[in-house]
Amino acid sequence: MDLKTRQKLVGWGFVLPATLLIFTFYFYPIVRAFVLSFHTGVGVSLNYAGLFNYRRLLADSLFKKSLNNVLIYLILQVPVMLMLALVLAQLLNDSSLKFRGFFRAAIFLPCATSLVSYSIIFRSMFALNGFVNATLMNLNLIARPINWIGHPWAARIVIVTALTWRWTGYNMVFFLAGLQNIDPAIYEAAVIDGASGIDRFLRITIPLLQPIILLTAIMSTNGTLQLFDEPMNLTNGGPANATLSISQYIYRLSFQYSPRFGYAAAISFIVFTLVAVLAVFQMKLGDKR
């Protein structure tokens, strides 16, 4: 056996265990779920029904409601979060700033916080007698407490606020890594040419960070379309399903209602298709190569 063949075999020897695990616990369940999406019935009593589950989606008002909700989260939260993360990364990349490490750790810390713990804190903060209402009333901005969890748009704002608080620091770390790979000489040359801070940010920082911005946009879009924890723990999908996410609806179909695994699998593949289409669209739009 020649050296090149032995090197290939050694490489496959290292890769094969992980490949088998990924196939067994990831790709095989995807294939099984795709087959399951063509079956209908309750529990394990399933019968082949062709495209019945996919046709049912077109008339399912609750599915349309959950899809509309995640699109609202996507439009409201993702651009604000990424822009805020980019601005914070720019500020915390300044070598003259004191206590940079402390501020970076403090902003990153929320994404390491337990989902249930921070959901309980946010529920208490936005309660009728919570911190937010008390502060707004003390500042004379409102005359009476706002029912944040009981009003559809107010509940959505609570979820968007919670998502932004939790994931801004996570995306900031990616932007910080990208900023530290930009040659400082580029900025020095721009200063000599008379470029202002805003000009340097718009014409140097953002173009050079475009691959990182694309990566974070795809990851944030993927996470928002599969959102589950915040609607489940903060509002439980209420009021009147105004904050229900697609993943939470799939969970209800599978484990809370009479289990309809075939229909839940069909909805899962719609989410999978949406994630794939949006990722391809973002790649085509953001990658100029």
Residue identified by tokens 């990153």 is 108
- The answer to whether residue 37 sits within a structural domain is no
CA–CA separation, 237 vs 10, rounded Å?
50
- The answer to whether residue 49 sits within a structural domain is no
Q: Identify the CATH number of the domain in which residue 76 sits.
A: 1.10.3720.10
pLDDT confidence of residue 182: 85
- The answer to whether residue 67 sits within a structural domain is yes
**Better-predicted residue by pLDDT, 116 or 72:** 72
Domain span at residue 223 reads 60-286
Number of domains in the chain: 1
Q: What is the pLDDT of residues 126-173, one digit of tens each?
A: 988 889 999 999 998 888 898 998 899 999 999 999 999 999 999 999
Q: What is the pLDDT of residues 216-264, one digit of tens each?
A: 988 998 889 889 988 988 888 888 889 999 999 999 988 888 788 899 9
pLDDT confidence of residue 283: 80
Q: What angle in degrees, to the nearest 10, is found between the helix axes of 131-138 and 115-125?
A: 30
Task: Give the mean model confidence (pLDDT) for residues 105-124.
Answer: 88
pLDDT confidence of residue 141: 87
Per the prediction, the chain carries an average pLDDT of 88
Backbone phi and psi for residue 145, each to the nearest 5 degrees, phi listed first: -60, 145
- The answer to whether residue 192 sits within a structural domain is yes
- The answer to whether residue 110 sits within a structural domain is yes
CA–CA separation, 68 vs 75, rounded Å?
11
- The answer to whether residue 197 sits within a structural domain is yes
- The answer to whether residue 32 sits within a structural domain is no
pLDDT confidence of residue 286: 66
First to last CA, the chain: 40
Two structure tokens written together for 126: 């936005």
Residue 32: C-alpha distances to residues 75, 243, 261 (Å): 32, 30, 11
- The answer to whether residue 72 sits within a structural domain is yes
pLDDT confidence of residue 188: 84
